[in-house]
Structure 1
């Protein structure tokens, strides 16, 4: 283990999470924003559904771990919403089972610590035409539709309202952009850098508005080893030094 111990933010979900460090993704942006403030840990798994998540929940988030995460951002739903295959194989999870799986995930994570906070991401929309153009040779006939994503998104949001858990309506947030169909995806399903910016914007909004103690907003967390030092860069006056522990060096927020 590497110290000092920082707050841990865990991103848990399917490919929307696993790929969040790719293509200037939302996970990479969060890791940059929280540099020297929190460790952003990736636990994303391509192709997974809420069924997969339940199978490993105790391994990824053991209740007896000496350090529990300060924040877990959870995303499952897009793969669950895939239409059922006649063979019975495939990722499809019926809606009632999906809701119950997500409930169990939420209750397990809430039990980890009184200070563990949760944010659920609902299923984002998809560009069906782009899926046909880029993924038909891999996925075959279109089995994921924007309408099915909407249904699972709304189910996730309703569950979070019932459990008093913070949730982000990605299905709606992404479609607020007029050019979302052309700019927000790499292949019709996974997010481009523009799509990821929307995710980060919504996450930062939740973190800024939440009445959590302690606050997890990036401006509220201290920078690690942020004390003034005579070894810092010298100020223009030539007599003092500049504390650069909070410097962004060109980062755009």
Structure 2
């Protein structure tokens, strides 16, 4: 069976299959070698993610006739890092609980699919001016509901959890801030990604997967390329490829 790469996260994951999205780019990149499966839930924090793990993952692969995913990206923290005394306080999760929830999510995935690679991704940086320009709901305080410094503390917590668990991670918070003008170049509303921001995430995910021996070079091609097919006897070519072929 064609292997799966599952994307699990909040709106930054849910939107990733849109035009220019990092998930769509992954699906294109692995178009003949793996199925990229979207499991993104806008507005979710790590607390809510823990509560829905069974529903999210139960149907994706159990080793009994279903392909166990090769990799799962876990991309939470942007909503956890809402400030507890501002307009999106209902999404806030204390940082120690966020760390515990990441532990629970990784543990659940590894128990369900021991061979799957789990890749943690930190929350992105925050452009506070962008959040003021594009607030979610009524923002009577006139203050951003997220700050870059507070998001950074969650990013550092994610990095620490990855180290504790011995799983790979991508520090998007730090990576994006290496680019001049990242605030507007990478973030369209201070939080969600522009095409450039999506490109950064895509390239980082591809590189990290490659470091973990999951790449176009290591994955089998699904059926022969058209120029490798014997036009006089195509069934011979298909029979020599993996899997059953109908005559």
TM-score scaled by length of structure 2: 0.85
SS in 1 for 2:58: coil
CA distance 1:109–1:127, change in 2 (3 Å): same
Contact 1:122 1:153 in 2 (8 A): yes
Q: What's the offset of the Cα at 1:59?
A: 1.5
* Residue of structure 2 equivalent to 1:191: 193
* Residue of structure 1 equivalent to 2:125: 125
* Residue of structure 1 equivalent to 2:151: 149
Q: What's the offset of the Cα at 1:179?
A: 2.1
Which digits, 9 at most, give the CA deviation of each residue in 1:134-189, with x for residues without a partner?
22655554211101110000001001101001000000110111121121112110
* Residue of structure 1 equivalent to 2:10: 14
Q: What's the offset of the Cα at 1:85?
A: 3.8
SS in 1 for 2:119: strand
The equivalent position to 2:35 in structure 1, one of 39, 44, 58, is: 39
Contact 2:82 2:89 in 1 (8 A): no
Structure 1: any 5+ residue segments left out of the alignment?
233-253
CA distance in 2, matches of 1:176, 1:86: 28
The equivalent position to 1:56 in structure 2, one of 34, 52, 60, is: 52
* Residue of structure 2 equivalent to 1:177: 179
Contact 2:131 2:145 in 1 (8 A): no
TM-score scaled by length of structure 1: 0.83
* Residue of structure 1 equivalent to 2:240: none
CA distance 1:137–1:94, change in 2 (3 Å): closer
* Residue of structure 1 equivalent to 2:245: none
CA distance 1:158–1:168, change in 2 (3 Å): same
CA distance in 2, matches of 1:38, 1:21: 15
CA distance in 2, matches of 1:51, 1:113: 21
* Residue of structure 1 equivalent to 2:217: 219
SS in 2 for 1:118: strand
State the aligned residue count. Answer: 224
SS in 2 for 1:111: helix
Which digits, 9 at most, give the CA deviation of each residue in 1:78-108, with x for residues without a partner?
1001011479961000111111111000111
Contact 2:32 2:221 in 1 (8 A): yes
Contact 1:11 1:73 in 2 (8 A): yes
Structure 2: any 5+ residue segments left out of the alignment?
233-247
CA distance 1:86–1:150, change in 2 (3 Å): closer
SS in 1 for 2:124: coil
CA distance 1:103–1:36, change in 2 (3 Å): same
Contact 2:87 2:138 in 1 (8 A): no
Whether 2:100 is the aligned partner of 1:100: answer yes
